[in-house]
Amino acid sequence: MLYLWNLSINGWANAFYSAAAFAGADNLTAFFFGSSDPSNGISVDKPPLALWVMSLSVKIFGLNPWSILVPQALMGVATVWLVYRMAAQHLGHRWGLLAGALMALMPVSTAVFRYNNPDALLTLLMTSAAAATLAAIRTQRQRLLGLAGVMIGAGFLTKQLQVALVAPALLTAVLWLGPWSLRIRLRGVFIALGAAVATAGSWLAVATLTPPSSRPFIGGTRNNSFWELTLGYNGMDRLTGLDAERTQLGSFSGSGEALPAGPIRFIYPQLAAQVLWVLPLAVAGVVMAVMLWRRASLRERNFLIINVLWFICSSAVLASMSGIMHPYYALSVVPSAACLGATALKHLIELRRRGLFRVLLGVSLAATLIFDDANALRASETFPWYSIATLLVGSLAIAWAVLPPIRAFAPAGVTMCLCLVLLGPLLWSASTVASAHEGAALAGGPPLNGYRTDDPADPLMHGNTTPVFAATIFGDGVEPDAVRDLRLVPEGKRWPGATIGSASAARYQLATQRSVLAIGGFDGTDPFPTLRDFQSKVEAGQVGLLIVGNVPPAASLGQGESAKILAWVKTAYRCEPAGHACVYHLQPPHKQNDEARPTVVGRAAGRAGISASSTAERGGPS
């Protein structure tokens, strides 16, 4: 209900991926390589597996928001079920339900599993790999390690190196705590590794061996190389900040302010609203794992070590990123944090007879109360009563936790603890469901300081950003006149239209269901096409028109091939106003004098509901 209710309110969600899903449903090559358009100009800046799911759904059910977004919601349901199953097998049914509830209700979970970013599939695959590894150790069936390897390989084809966040935890569990001899443990690791390489390598081999002329340009790269995309834009550049530097976007946190590197960034507004609710208990779960290690069974140790290392790796990478930092990246922390949070609450409540554990429980609940109240104050316009409610409930829960146990008060005390932990995420997730979310800067929860970074009604975020920045995140506004011109371009054109930046191209492509070339890729900085390439395409009659409105920052500053193309077009062709944008009809040079005027007539005829050809037949200028 949470992930499916009111789902179509998000429209095309991230149009960048919705347009690529349409392209994949329309063209097999575009499907295989994850092209942004059916004519295979440039790919998205991620591998194609997440797009395959959406494209198949579009092929079966047609192009509409439901066919794109429902698969994401079902991935969320499956992820919640896996978290519940993992926790229930080691903590018991009731605490497994708590882990599942924490996974389901985190605002970042609700936002992502109702959206079409690759993170929904990636989280499902990472959780599946962890569940398969635990099942392999529990049943001593090493073929399940092969299944975990398949999940890791598929995760690589979803979002590349991010899937490695769970890998150290799985390797440690198998090599250190596996119920086999060292030789058999190593064999199990090689089984998983071979399955991962085979899964990812099958696509990589074809992509690498395909000549560049027979496939789209690899978006997000400088040298048209998938390995550059893996190690650069989607790899080390995310840690060093080079991804933000090249796009002229700076360090984007989604909150209108830069996030300082380190654990302190988790308490900053946008990131805190996504996941901070569960972090105090997750940290307490790490402490409890250390304290309980000696008397834990082998199965319990495997559950603990996988979740502790997964949580530490995900948190450390999220804390150290120096480049573009979107709030929804926090989803990588949630599955392990949910399991650790349930672990902490279970053992701290059960061991309350000892003063040390009462203190630990009280400190964990106090930290949760402080962070919950901070989130409440930041969203006081939406939930003005929640700050007082959380102070009241939290104070009662902390008092019950630190006082000596009284059996008669136990049910009420546990209820207060659960309300403190779950009520805030439930309200923030309900707000997420009730609001429309679009663009590349997805965030769950109500507005913070009066605005949201994914609000389609406010792309300028109350003046906190500029039109060129909004053009990168949301795409430029679609002008009806430009849409009419796109529809009037003859069918023979490979690309009826082109524009700078993939988000803007995606919006026009979805509006017309015709191929639109994204010059410069997502942020306008990719060197495709070069000026010479673009001129050749125009000379060959492959591109119908260029739409220029607000362009991404680098192009607006005159940087890169897209800026060169824009300068050449402005010199060689005439701007025909279309709202805030200009439309340039790109007739080949030798045809400009003959065909410039019918294009203008064509627009006028289109507004009148007739075609340019019928106007010419009636004696119009030609």
- Apex CA 339: angle with CA 334 and CA 344, to 5°? 120
pLDDT of residue 246: 60
Does residue 603 sit within a domain? yes
Question: Which domain, by its residues, includes 227?
Answer: 7-250
Structure confidence at residue 472 as a pLDDT band (50, 70, 90): confident
Do 436 and 455 form a contact (C-beta atoms < 8 A)? yes
543 three-class SS: strand
Question: What strands lie across the sheet with 581-585, from one edge to the other?
Answer: 516-519, 495-500, 543-548, 581-585, 576-578
498, β-bridge pairs: 517, 546
Does residue 202 sit within a domain? yes
Does residue 272 sit within a domain? no
- Tell me how many domains the chain contains: 2
Do 499 and 548 form a contact (C-beta atoms < 8 A)? yes
Look at residues 179, 166, 112, 190 and name the one whose alpha carbon lies nearest to residue 437: 112
Show the DSSP H helices in 92-162 as ranges.
93-105, 107-112, 119-139, 143-159
**Tens of pLDDT, residues 247-287:** 655 544 444 456 777 889 999 998 999 999 999 999 999 99
Q: In the listed set 212, 227, 250, which residue is the last one of a domain according to the structure?
A: 250
Does residue 308 sit within a domain? no
Distance in angstroms (rounded) separating the CA atoms of residues 360 and 363? 5
Do 467 and 503 form a contact (C-beta atoms < 8 A)? no
Distance in angstroms (rounded) separating the CA atoms of residues 255 and 267? 12
pLDDT of residue 56: 98
Does residue 422 sit within a domain? no
Q: Is the pLDDT score of 488 beyond 60?
A: yes
**Tens of pLDDT, residues 406-445:** 889 999 999 999 999 999 999 999 999 999 999 999 999 9
Distance in angstroms (rounded) separating the CA atoms of residues 284 and 402? 15
How does DSSP classify residue 303?
Answer: H
The token pair that represents 6 in the structure block = 């009111």
Measured in degrees and rounded to the nearest 5, phi and psi for residue 217 equal -65, 140
Q: In the listed set 250, 277, 305, which residue is the last one of a domain according to the structure?
A: 250
Does residue 597 sit within a domain? yes
Burial 211-247 (b: 16+ CB within 10 A, else e): eeeebbbbbbbeebebebbbebbbbebbeebebbebb
Does residue 119 sit within a domain? yes
The token pair that represents 375 in the structure block = 């989130």
Does residue 156 sit within a domain? yes
Q: In the listed set 199, 225, 250, which residue is the last one of a domain according to the structure?
A: 250
**Tens of pLDDT, residues 338-381:** 999 999 999 999 999 999 999 999 999 999 999 999 999 999 99
Distance in angstroms (rounded) separating the CA atoms of residues 67 and 428? 26
